[in-house]
Structure 1
């Protein structure tokens, strides 16, 4: 009955899926496409393990066989033994498999001839002369890129007459050796995480993990074409394999499908080397484990300097520059008290550094808990975008003198330590959407190095953001060069409402992109209520009436309630905007398929809230010359839109050592990713495409 079920499965596979079976396969299984022979290592000895080999030889080079776990398609080998009493056949031992992607499906295959070894335990006192012959029926699948044919071979072997085959030494060397240390595995949301103890001195080429355990319990299945993430610290290699949920048959409860007690596989170390392992359930740490791809060899001091420079450049962003400018002018207006200037600068710096450190600490904690997030992750949350929109409106209204905030220098009054501290918090928070030059290296490394050192990187970023005002407060020569106070300062403050108003408009557009027109309308209603309430507060302030603090508290409570009652957008507002390059939407499977085409691939990671991304798109990507160069070179363009949280994109950013967007990757045919600069020049992509080898891509 079991044999009938096997052949029904073979025939169903042969006539279904992406493969095509010729009419010849319907005549019945044989072994003509990939003949197999049963070979012994020598005469068995009682009480010892005896090794036999199944040697497969394809009839022509286009045929291939399959590993025990064939991947997305195919069928593993089935063995039906007829052994003497007391004799037992162990699990087959395989050489290192190869990867073959056909039609977006990952196959674990062997091309060319290969041998699978099977250990057989011979009992003590076994009489070889009377044992008789061993029988074996092998059922397997032989395939080309277009045809799959079920194969079957019936073989016998007489142990008493088995001679030593000289090829056995070569076959034994090809078998993947076992790992002599225990591995661990755990499930982390949509990923399988495996910690494999590999000596730190082991050189890794392009590693890949072949998962032998295909059934993972519940409704999870491995995404074989997905991008695997490798991280390393000392003697520990951590591998993450993406998972997806598959529909279960009616009546089957996912919770009833238990997780496996052991997960086995083969780790391909590159250059034809590999180890096989069996992992047990256990904790697999990620803290301080650095990614293999995109990781930086920079020292901690280099990372801190890069973060400092990146924070310094944030000051020229349109949402930060008005705040910094008005802080400096308020200091000039306050007079020449050097001690007060230093206190004010330190309070502002404390607010900036505390905000950056708190944000960095939140990112590190969430990532340690398994969340795939990066810099500016809060802008992927609709309610945060709405709150920032209201905040930008309030700052714009303040710059237009609609109302004032006592103690805040940006309101035009004298600075205070509490107001300067709060202004620093504000400046750091509104600066988070930006990732500019120098920040990519530092923040990307901060997410994977030792957590304390990572937190220091975020502190350095805050110090860089606060550095200009810190210098104004502590260097008298700079303060003396500030413009003298006068009526022009009020006009300048009103002009600073323009960049802040543009920031509010950009956040409104982002709200529309995230939630659609109806959701934006609700946000605009809250914005109108906020402006109305602030105008009323300003009226009370100008008439010197009391109760303004109570009005502030009531307005804040009303707006907080309104934000809490906003419905959560179920889906993004729509597809990403049109592009001249007609890009493919990013996914691990789409990237694997594009790279398998033999054509160059350009992937750009962007978000609607990323100012640098939009500038690069306008300057270098969305250009007719770029489109023409890509078309001539056959470049596949792929866009990864990170406006809303996407864990596949987050994993890829982490794998490349990037903390956020923008990120630009160029894949030459057959090569790994090359990271392009974060600031693209107009001709960079055109030159990359023109330098591409224009020979026809290889046939899949």
Structure 2
């Protein structure tokens, strides 16, 4: 309470000091030397030093060197923040001599009772350039006089300071400290940045090379009251551009923005910048703060758990789960066996989800731009999934028996393997249920991110885990009988449809030649499975025969698949307004046109994406509404790895697809749409 009151008193005192100095300046005589020093500089002494004598036609540098009487006293930057007072200078110069902009070192932050101050602790120097006219006779110039007014504060008290300073130009020499003081001044970027006021935030694009390490950045805005000084600042990297987002304060939009970006409170390093109104790109890789508010950790964990639970109804997971659940009824084992199977199945699911999540985080930490379900962007992984889906379909169809996914109870290893399989094939379906949780996982600390992946796995395993530990649930399962074999054969239908979808995906990723080669491999596997099934039914040793038949096809695929991979574009000629292919440049140009922009990110392996495109995006009423409003549409295809799209998704807080964004006309801030779309929702967007 005492600190709060003292800070408020200091703020009030600073305001009175500003008023006092302003009145004093208005009443002063024409001669600066006539000014009376009222307060002195005993708390923070000031010294005026020259960089040699002035030279006609050149810039002459004067230095104001401030030395506090002790470490508890501090001075202020030109924009002092929520409280304080910047330095004021009143000059007496020869005619034609002009004072340039004062140059400051990188300031520091001091937060007292929710008031942010921009200060300097210890000694600091402000350089002021003086432009000397070309026709100036510097040998006859009178001494240069300047009256300096500033504020000296501790954490509890503020005291006005002033001093009348003079430099004799005829006797001025270069102070040996000037070189060190110059090095302490924040250098100016050689390029102008852009800024835009969007909603309740100031967004800045600064041209900083990607190789420049920015540490823990903070931006000091020189424009008074434009931003909230205590607001959280967000930063993202987009190639050689640093994107900054700062909550707005009470100021109005300026014609020019200036400030200093600090690279860390411990280093006192940074650069000055100037920015003009212009387009500020979106996207980028967050490097500090957050470009958006993250959901709470507990909310993200609950979302991950619920999303995993819902995955059990997806067509590639439900057959595996249902048959594994019915195996408990058929086996009729003990309570201990049921619990064992449930634990092993859960361990397999959770391990697979955590392993995939850890691999994704490790790849991102190593600089590889990947997102959730990244494995489906690899042609070899998709071919392996295709072969696996065909094997499971054949097993469900009764062509052969495989313990891992059979209806028999073959122990913990079977349950563990089934859990691994269920988690691996479920990842493409996580989009509509896991958007917030997976997006948060990219920005949260690694242990919490891994906990989110574990929660996803636990949700996926929860139904079977409940069956294993709750006898009342198992008692409601139908009694074993011939119907179970028919049910298993029926479950071969959704798995077969999954296999057909994967064939289509293989062709989309690698081209038709790649898909035909993969089908040859699949054909060989199917023949081998028929041979295995026939031998199993006759009671003979089966699996060596599988190797004899399948291995030649596998070797063929190992050589032929890479050679047949075409890498053809996966982009469809979509039917809605002929969308542009996504790039940062295309998005920037579309927003610059002033037209509303609809951008969506999709992938051929994303079930939710394809459903949304069929039932909502490609509908005639949406096309008509967009064309009438002149909407620019942009499509980002993430079927295969695309680092630009991955960076953009990350900046939007999304770990994967689908993602739908709407930019109203003239707006720089997008509205993120739901992951389940309707034609009415899209058709109404231009009327908002």
Give the TM-score normalised by the residue count of structure 2.
0.64
Distance 2:183 2:467 in 1: 60
Q: CA deviation at 1:402?
A: 1.2
| Shift of residue 559, structure 1, vs aligned partner | 6.0
CA-CA distance at 1:618 after TM superposition = 1.4
**Whole-angstrom CA distance in 2 between matches of 1:319 and 1:117:** 70
Picking from 417, 424, 428, the partner of 2:419 is 424
Q: Which has the larger radius of gyration?
A: 2
Does the 8 A contact of 2:386 with 2:503 survive in 1?
yes
> What is the CA-CA distance between 1:417 and the residue it aligns to?
0.9
User: Does the 8 Å contact 1:50/1:119 carry over to 2?
Assistant: no
Q: Equivalent residues in 2 for 1:137-286 (5 A)?
A: 160=141, 205-211=201-207, 238-242=235-239, 269=246, 271=248, 275-277=259-261
Counterpart residue number, 1:610: 606
**Are 2:349 and 2:420, in contact at CA under 8 Å, matched by a contact in 1?**
yes
Unaligned runs of 5+ in 1: 1-41, 53-80, 97-114, 121-130, 136-155, 170-177, 184-202, 217-233, 245-264, 692-700
Structure 2 distance, partners of 1:485, 1:307, is 34
SS at match of 1:354: helix
Determine which of 401, 411, 416 is the counterpart of 2:398: 401
SS of 1:550's equivalent in the other structure is helix
Aligned 8 A contact 2:467 2:473 in 1: yes
Task: Decide whether aligned partners of structure 1 residues 365 and 638 sit closer, same or farther in structure 2, where only a CA change above 3 A counts.
Answer: same
Call closer, same or farther: CA 1:309–1:558 in 2, change over 3 Å.
farther
Q: In 2, Cα distance between the equivalents of 1:384 and 1:215? A: 34
1:331 to 328, 334, 343: 328
Q: How is 1:283-322 mapped onto 2 (pairs within 5 angstroms)?
A: 292-296=290-294, 298-322=295-319
Aligned equivalents of 1:404, 1:157: Cα separation in 2? 100
Match 1:528 to one of 520, 523, 532: 523
- Work out whether residues 440 and 449 of structure 2, in 8 Å CA contact, stay in contact via their aligned partners in 1: yes
- Structure 2 match to 1:550: 544
For 2:363, the equivalent position in structure 1 comes to 366
Deviation at 1:681, TM superposition (A): 2.4
Q: How many Å apart are 1:583 and its aligned residue?
A: 1.0
- 1:367-416 CA-to-partner distances (Å, cap 9, x unmatched) read 1111111111011111111111111111111111111113x3x3232342
Give the superposition deviation at 1:133.
Answer: 5.9
Asked if structure 2 preserves the Cα contact closer than 8 Å seen for 1:357 and 1:458, the reply is yes
**Cα distance in structure 1, aligned partners of 2:508 and 2:553:** 22
Alpha-carbon offset, residue 682 of structure 1 = 2.9
Question: Per the alignment, in what secondary structure is the counterpart of residue 496 of structure 1?
Answer: helix
CA positional deviation for 1:267: 6.4
Residues 616-648 of structure 1: CA deviation (Å, up to 9, x unaligned): 111211100001111122211111110111111
TM-score by length of 1: 0.63
Q: Alignment partner for residue 558 of structure 2, among 539, 553, 564? A: 564
CA deviation map 1:545-580 (0-9, x unaligned):
12x343455667656544532216353345324323
Correspondence 1:407-486 to 2 at 5 A: 408=404, 410-486=405-481
1:519 to 514, 522, 538: 514
| Superposed displacement of residue 236, structure 1 | 8.9
Write the deviation string for residues 173-193 of structure 1: whole angstroms up to 9, x where unpaired: xxxxx999999xxxxxxxxxx
Structure 1 Cα separation of the partners of residues 655 and 536 of structure 2: 44
Match of 1:386 in 2: 383
In structure 2, the residue matched to 1:508 is 503
Cα 1:572–1:352, aligned 2, differ >3 Å: closer, same or farther?
same
| Distance in 2 separating the partners of 1:358 and 1:556 | 29
Partner of 2:276: none
Distance 1:133 1:455 in 2: 64
Within 2, Cα distance between the matches of 1:441 and 1:384? Answer: 26
Deviation at 1:470, TM superposition (A): 0.9
| Structure 1 equivalent of residue 656 of structure 2 | 660
